Structure 1
Amino acid sequence: MDDDISETNPNYIIDGISNSQPNSEYDDDGRPKRTGTVWTTSSHIITAVIGSGVLSLAWAIAQLGWIAGPVVMILFSFITLCTSSMLSQCYRCGDPFFGKRNYTFVDAVGNILGGYNTTVCGIIQYIYLYGSAIGYTIAAPISIMAIIRSSCLHSSGGKGTCHVSSNPYMIGFGVIEIFFSQIPDFHETWWLSVIAAVMSFAYSLIGVFLAISQVAKNGTFKGTIKGGSIGVVSTTKKVWGIFQALGDIAFAYSYAQILIEVQDTIKNPPSEVKTMKKATILSVAVTTTFYMLCGCMGYAAFGGEAPGNLLTGFDLYNPAWLIDVANAAVVIHLVGAYQVYVQPVFAFIEKNATTKWPQTNVDHKIPIPGFGPYNLNLFRLVWRTVFVIITTFIAMLIPFFNDVLGLLGAVGFWPLTVYFPVEMYILQKHISKWSFKWVCLKLMSFLCFLVSAIAAIGSIASIVNDLKKYKPFSSEY
């Protein structure tokens, strides 16, 4: 596909050698000119990172306590900042301006590490991305149902049962995603990411505001230095809680699985690495601020009784409308986050399909009065629609898939966020074995491996409990 482009466009690279004649429409690799900036890149990252999981951080800090909780949060923000900086330097091989581009995470691993690493990375990355799509299809209807139940309880004076099935809302969410999945590629989702990022700020701020109001109502800060749930709790249960809390905080910062794909949307000059590093610093600083506010204020408001979802801890009647707004913001955010995670999957499938069957890459111009023509690709329309339908069906079949997603996150965190970026960095920078820097990087990788391992154990325990009461297509709340 790239060879065909380079024949018609004079501005391209072959094996890292530039034939860069002036051309305002194409980049040095012959592809349409990238337009991403620090702000659009930050929007993509924030949309991917600040998920609805931010609302569970109060519970996570409750398991660890006032000292360990914030310390762990800051520690993982630092680790994410370091590994993201390392990974961003893997976008190009050699020259930071004209070196050969790696369009995906798998491309970077394949070109730098090679061998079985490519296959392992590809399997983990795409399973995780697809699993995230299923998880979002489950999570968004929960927020919609919270709004419906709030209205029901309010109208009945709290006397109604107000049970709601999630299946119709999962189908509705799937229909919306079929529409947005027709956005051709990652480069054109920037506006959706901006909206989603704004929504993530909205519900996070609402959560913080409600937590501060609750603290004022209580007249004191709740919580203890050691942490833990209220009441008599067995040592085993406390240990499981700590394990799960570590996993929740670690995965809350993870976005390495889409970093290279996001970096491929950035314009040059300045170099993509420079822009990505600025966007990473900005994004991690913003997310850490919001995480600390939501987690710490939520813990201060509820102490050891902090709920798994911060929004569920407040009185449904006061202020019900504000909680409804927050839940609506969660839904809108998840619509955008879904696309941020599935666009790399779409690109992977369509790239391979185009290689085997070039006729699939044919656009049909559909005239739209008052607008420019719409490029309709029948293959993209059909296969992406089928993808969303299957994803929605699986979400309806296994409504507890969020716990499975927790397992996927646990398994994927260490290799994607830490191991591969560290190994590629060591190889590219020619860091000597057993040098101080080499030892520090390896130690960081090992500690993160332990976090992944214990979080995976905790997730497996949750899945076993879910299977005991599992009923297919049963998802009433």
Structure 2
Amino acid sequence: MGTQAPSNYDDSKIDTRTEEEKAIDAWLPITSSRNAKWWYSAFHNVTAMVGAGVLSLPYAMSELGWGPGVTVMVVSWIITLYTLWQMVEMHEMVPGKRFDRYHELGQHAFGEKLGLWIVVPQQLIVEVGVDIVYMVTGGKSLQKVHDLVCKQEDGCANIKLSYFIMIFASVHFVLSHLPNFNSISGVSLAAAVMSLSYSTIAWGASVKKGVQPNVDYGYKAHSTAGTVFDFLSGLGEVAFAYAGHNVVLEIQATIPSTPEKPSKVPMWRGVVVAYIVVALCYFPVAFIGYWMFGNAVEDNILISLNKPTWLIVMANMFVVVHVIGSYQIYAMPVFDMIETVLVKKLRFRPTWYLRFVTRNIYVAFTMFVGITFPFFGGLLGFFGGFAFAPTTYFLPCIMWLAIYKPRRWSLSWLANWICIIFGVLLMVLAPIGGLRSIIVQAKTYKFYN
């Protein structure tokens, strides 16, 4: 289901779909276009990975401390690169078949029904959760630009965050009607360039500002319980930053494939480039931001930086452009799931107005939730641990063990179990800190303020 046989395969043996099924697959967002190049993989993965999470990394470092913070950052980079390689390899492990969607791979590993129940809820939590957080991020960045350019002492009105989130959402009521991954490649490329730009500005402006007077690298919480909860929340924020796995198979599905030139070759090339960019963005921002501000750093590093004004305005606008692209990258698999259910299960006709209605409802939903619960740092910690850890850190390893069955105590077996243990600990511990952070902020929060 949802696969297209490469051009030189014997269709009579491989492709058993009816003409109606072929027409539906040609309409669905993930399988409608397969002409992407390797560099599409690079910038789609950068856009998916380097999002709002990078701006919270100095704050995560302040919650973790130097030793644990550097360790968790580096180990996460290595583990997630390894699990991403596994997913790229598993995309075409069955000759003549492509696992175009995360849940299709899950169904192959765990069975038709169980695979759906294991993968789909987690993937939806991640993708919808990211889009909600990006609504908040986009709105906050627009508000920051407004506040820097138009100050209240100059007679400018104080505009609610809710309105800025609505302004940000208005862009998606238009962009969400682009039909598939390849059609958003221009938006994604712009977003990838922006991510490198604002990350560079974030650490560059931090260096320019210098180490702050009386900088403190100790934990800011005054109680042991507070320190522990903050530490757990920091784990979730790091997990949130490494979230690209939830769309990697869908990105690979857009690359053409033949037995001589399987899609994993250009896909992996793009992934390696993307991960180099990820390292160039993440490590300087996290380490330099924490070094300069210590535990006084804000949960969004750009909020800690107010001068030079023009540079911070530009960085925040770069963030807005980037999260516009990131929102679309994470929304596309959700659109694919919704449209697959409506057309294949509920037998709706695949029409433009079906797409128009469903996608507008989705954008409106993420906008409403973002306006209602704009707890940026807490949301990162909660979603990061609860859903990102399984789909990013250890679900690919479990599928690898289930499918390939490596020999016990072999290097592959050990590596996968290490990733699984690390990921399970993240999944269990991180949401606790994130949830507490949301509760603490909610005590003083006024809805729709």
C-alpha contact (below 8 Å) 2:194/2:322 kept by paired residues: yes
CA distance in 1, matches of 2:187, 2:441: 34
* Among 182, 192, 201, the residue aligned to 2:196: 201
After TM superposition, the structure 1 stretch with the greater mean CA deviation from structure 2, 203-212 or 65-74, is: 65-74
CA distance in 1, matches of 2:289, 2:338: 42
Deviation at 1:435, TM superposition (A): 4.1
C-alpha contact (below 8 Å) 2:54/2:285 kept by paired residues: yes
- 1:111 matched to 2:108: yes
1:10–1:328 Cα change, 3 Å: closer
SS in 1 for 2:100: coil
* Among 156, 159, 173, the residue aligned to 1:178: 173
Deviation at 1:260, TM superposition (A): 0.7
1:223–1:263 Cα change, 3 Å: farther
C-alpha contact (below 8 Å) 1:403/1:462 kept by paired residues: yes
1:396-435 equivalent positions in 2, closer than 5 A: 396-400=371-375, 403-404=378-379, 406-435=381-410
Deviation at 1:472, TM superposition (A): 3.0
1:60-209 equivalent positions in 2, closer than 5 A: 60-95=60-95, 99-114=96-111, 115-153=113-151, 156=153, 163-209=158-204
1:4-403 equivalent positions in 2, closer than 5 A: 17=14, 34-95=34-95, 99-114=96-111, 115-153=113-151, 156=153, 163-215=158-210, 224=217, 227-229=218-220, 233-268=222-257, 270-314=261-305, 316=306, 318-356=307-345, 360-362=349-351, 377-400=352-375, 403=378
CA distance in 1, matches of 2:193, 2:318: 9
CA distance in 2, matches of 1:396, 1:255: 25
SS in 1 for 2:160: coil
1:70–1:16 Cα change, 3 Å: farther
Structure 1 unmatched runs, 5+? 20-25, 363-376
C-alpha contact (below 8 Å) 1:73/1:288 kept by paired residues: no
C-alpha contact (below 8 Å) 2:234/2:381 kept by paired residues: no
CA distance in 2, matches of 1:390, 1:324: 29
CA distance in 1, matches of 2:38, 2:128: 27
Q: Cα deviation per residue 1:92-138 (whole Å; 9 max; x = unaligned)?
A: 2323xxx2111100011102221423212111111221122222112
Structure 1 or 2, whichever has the larger Rg, is 1
After TM superposition, the structure 1 stretch with the greater mean CA deviation from structure 2, 40-49 or 276-285, is: 276-285
CA distance in 2, matches of 1:200, 1:192: 12
Amino acid at match of 1:285: I
Q: Cα deviation per residue 1:419-467 (whole Å; 9 max; x = unaligned)?
A: 3211221233231245453233213201221122111110121222234
Percent of matched pairs sharing the same residue: 28
Deviation at 1:32, TM superposition (A): 5.4
* Among 414, 433, 437, the residue aligned to 1:458: 433
CA distance in 1, matches of 2:233, 2:284: 20
CA distance in 2, matches of 1:113, 1:120: 8
1:295–1:356 Cα change, 3 Å: closer
Q: Cα deviation per residue 1:53-84 (whole Å; 9 max; x = unaligned)?
A: 21121122233333332232111100011111
C-alpha contact (below 8 Å) 2:393/2:423 kept by paired residues: yes
TM-score, normalised relative to structure 1: 0.83
Deviation at 1:284, TM superposition (A): 1.6
Deviation at 1:380, TM superposition (A): 1.0
CA distance in 2, matches of 1:166, 1:15: 57
C-alpha contact (below 8 Å) 1:222/1:299 kept by paired residues: no
After TM superposition, the structure 1 stretch with the greater mean CA deviation from structure 2, 123-132 or 112-121, is: 112-121
1:405–1:63 Cα change, 3 Å: closer
Q: Which residue of 1 aligns with 2:19?
A: none
CA distance in 2, matches of 1:356, 1:251: 32
Amino acid at match of 2:110: L
SS in 2 for 1:35: coil
Amino acid at match of 1:212: V
Amino acid at match of 1:68: P
C-alpha contact (below 8 Å) 2:233/2:378 kept by paired residues: no
CA distance in 2, matches of 1:138, 1:15: 50
Amino acid at match of 1:117: G
Deviation at 1:357, TM superposition (A): 5.6
Deviation at 1:308, TM superposition (A): 1.6
1:120–1:426 Cα change, 3 Å: closer
SS in 2 for 1:100: coil
1:305–1:400 Cα change, 3 Å: closer
1:102–1:319 Cα change, 3 Å: same
What is the aligned-residue RMSD (CA, Å)? 2.9
TM-score, normalised relative to structure 2: 0.88
1:473–1:71 Cα change, 3 Å: same
C-alpha contact (below 8 Å) 1:62/1:303 kept by paired residues: yes
C-alpha contact (below 8 Å) 1:131/1:405 kept by paired residues: no
SS in 1 for 2:65: helix
